[in-house]
A and B are shown apart, each in its own frame.
Chain A
């Protein structure tokens, strides 16, 4: 017998991911669904008797009426259509017990699909505290499927759930539990019959399509050209009939489901009145307050940046020291020669330049995980909605933009919760302008090389201000461009912002640690593969073709890398960049932080092997002299120009690839690449020229 495929579905905030983690532990695999960048998470589930099943975590969804890319995938998997054939053997629906009525809406849709189903009645502890006593056996009787109370964050009920998953092999005995008003029921049944005959659809699939057809309106209906003409003409007659009888086709199906849900809850839930405001009420009174809310939000953001840039410094230094030690040890045991150079200057130096940033990435995801898990993230989106709407964006755009400070890829993926396609596109187009963690190494290097460690007014660090300015430059440009896009080709009608504010809860340490582990591992894997390979290739290109005699600097200039940089120089000279920066710009297309390892490799090569190795990279850059004129190659102005260029340029192949997948074509990623490169070039040029005019150096 092949392994059973079990799909885990549920509303956003129902604790689905926590339950998934509790059931599978570390036996997880994260990937993508074919064609779209919606994360596909699956894990192995082991039963008490040693049997196994594959558990698939579907995207969180409120309903099976596809409204966003996430919901479309969940629906297609449950229907087993397209690439997702066959449908899962069992569905586990996670239901937030404290929001039973809203969650049962999705349950009723899943029951209609006729798949074997088990309900995990999650967060029963919170429901009890809010005065709800749910008789799960009564609920199970109403729904005709097993209902297992769980508290996923504490691991309560997971064994019972596993047992039910193993025993359940058939669908609910009760097909379609909810009832429609008689005339609507009659038309629906007729249409289901026609769809079964004409399109050979199974009954449950036909019901899903019939509801979609009867609810569809105007343009949505005109797009339904995948149906046969006789079906469409029948639907048109149905529309006229129901409209004439005074039924609101758009609301009758939802309303009928909710009417049924109300009855189910009345029979299986006892409520006792809870006096006074709930904890969430009291917290919300402060956190969403029009003044306090904003101040607290700003304080949290300041805290995040403080943590990333100050507290991460110590572990970053340890990692750097660790790699230095490793390099020195290798130098001791290996005889001098090409292989030793390759390992130390190519491999170790390149990987070290990047792995150093692991602590910052982990801090960022710790923080994002905490915000998400406590329930604060939705409040932050709510508070930010006003600022975002001033530039034509959406409160929900805030979360993708915040994530883009870590990396534009999860940022762009997070836009899929934005329902309006134009708002979503505008957010995706500006997300890479947020300074991601890969730019951080570039900023850090340039600041260490050129910005003095002095203070302003005695306490404000000049270096800190420079760093903050780079982040602000990206943020302000993103907001301005979003405004420009929304005023021109992404002009849209009326803004709709709606977001669920889940109850506050104590974050699950386990979930957050898993998240951090997952991200850290992905980062390290990249460092060990792509970046290691790039560093080694770069070492070869910088070492060959060999030149006999000459200084190390001349030999580097003679190499492939030197020749490529020279070709580029006329193009970047107007920005004050020399050929070494040109090489960095090209190699960092792999990933921006490769700029730093490139500089590291090139300066190591230029220096030869005899010189003092303890001179740091920032010093080497600062001390670099033009052999012809003897003047410094870099000045503080060049340092600033390099940072400005990196803030604004789309130096990232992976982002381009993700944009292509998310927008299903090359149009938008190429537009993004074009506008960002143009923007970076123009602004850097202006900064450079203005700097020279102000007498701030230059060559």
Chain B
């Protein structure tokens, strides 16, 4: 499952990132690193808002589909 398929309100754990290296590095530094826990808050306009390390971040679906996650609960 990728972050773009994660249900709204659910908490998921990041397994791996599959975007281009420079994009993955940027994602990791913003908190989207392996094993981090993400909560999806909202989806719309092909974009997604989620929360990682208490920070709210908006990202587009092509980025979200490069973040592979697993259910936490």
**Is there contact, CB below 8 Å, between A498 and B57?**
yes
CB distance from A379 to the nearest CB of B (A): 8
Which residues of B lie under 8 Å from residue A501 when comparing CB positions? 49, 56-58
Contact string, A42-66, partner B, CB cutoff 8 A, digits 1/0? 0000000000000000000011010
Which of B16, B47, B53, B58: most chain A Cβ within 10 A? B58
CB distance from B16 to the nearest CB of A (A): 8
Q: Which 5 A-B pairs have the closest CB atoms?
A: A386-B45, A497-B60, A254-B28, A290-B44, A501-B56
| Given A251-B28, A255-B34, A498-B30, also A130-B47 (CB < 8 A) | no
Which of A102, A289, A395, A499 contacts B53, CB < 8 Å?
A102
**Is there contact, CB below 8 Å, between B55 and A99?**
yes
Closest residue of chain B to A258 (Cβ to Cβ) is B33
Which residues of B lie under 8 Å from residue A494 when comparing CB positions? 19-20, 62
CB distance from A266 to the nearest CB of B (A): 13
**Is there contact, CB below 8 Å, between A217 and B21?**
yes
- B contact residues, range: 35 or more
Q: Which residues of B contact A (CB under 8 A)?
A: 16-17, 19-31, 33-36, 41-42, 44-47, 49, 52-60, 62-63
| Given A251-B33, A254-B25, also A385-B44 (CB < 8 A) | no
**Is there contact, CB below 8 Å, between A130 and B54?**
yes
Which residues of A lie under 8 Å from residue B26 when comparing CB positions? 67, 419, 496, 498
Closest residue of chain B to A217 (Cβ to Cβ) is B21
Contact string, A361-399, partner B, CB cutoff 8 A, digits 1/0? 000000000000000001001110110010000010000
Known interface pairs A255-B28, A503-B56; 9 further A-B residue pairs with C-beta atoms within 8 A, sorted by A's residue number: A102-B52, A382-B45, A383-B45, A496-B60, A497-B47, A497-B58, A497-B60, A498-B59, A498-B60
Which residues of A lie under 8 Å from residue B52 when comparing CB positions? 102
Question: Complex Cα distance A99/B33, Å?
Answer: 16
Which residues of A lie under 8 Å from residue B28 when comparing CB positions? 251, 254-255
Question: Complex Cα distance A250/B46, Å?
Answer: 28
Which residues of A lie under 8 Å from residue B36 when comparing CB positions? 258
Main secondary structure on chain B at its contact with chain A?
mixed
**Is there contact, CB below 8 Å, between A255 and B49?**
no
Which residues of B lie under 8 Å from residue A98 when comparing CB positions? 54
| Given A254-B25, A288-B42, A498-B26, also A101-B57 (CB < 8 A) | no
Question: Complex Cα distance A311/B1, Å?
Answer: 53
CB distance from B19 to the nearest CB of A (A): 7
Q: Which residues of A contact B (CB under 8 A)?
A: 62-63, 65, 67, 98-102, 105, 130, 215, 217-218, 220, 248, 250-251, 254-255, 258, 280-281, 284-285, 288-290, 293, 378, 381-383, 385-386, 389, 395, 419, 493-503
Question: Complex Cα distance A325/B53, Å?
Answer: 61
Question: Complex Cα distance A493/B60, Å?
Answer: 14
Question: Complex Cα distance A501/B28, Å?
Answer: 17
Closest residue of chain B to A64 (Cβ to Cβ) is B29
**Is there contact, CB below 8 Å, between B19 and A378?**
no
Closest residue of chain B to A375 (Cβ to Cβ) is B56
| Given A99-B54, A498-B63, A499-B58, also A220-B45 (CB < 8 A) | no
**Is there contact, CB below 8 Å, between A102 and B45?**
no
Which residues of B lie under 8 Å from residue A280 when comparing CB positions? 56
Which residues of A lie under 8 Å from residue B46 when comparing CB positions? 386, 389
Question: Complex Cα distance A503/B49, Å?
Answer: 13
**Is there contact, CB below 8 Å, between A250 and B25?**
yes
**Is there contact, CB below 8 Å, between B62 and A496?**
yes
Which of B29, B33, B60 contacts A65, CB < 8 Å?
B29
Which of B17, B19, B34, B56: most chain A Cβ within 10 A? B56
Which residues of A lie under 8 Å from residue B23 when comparing CB positions? 496
Closest residue of chain A to B50 (Cβ to Cβ) is A501
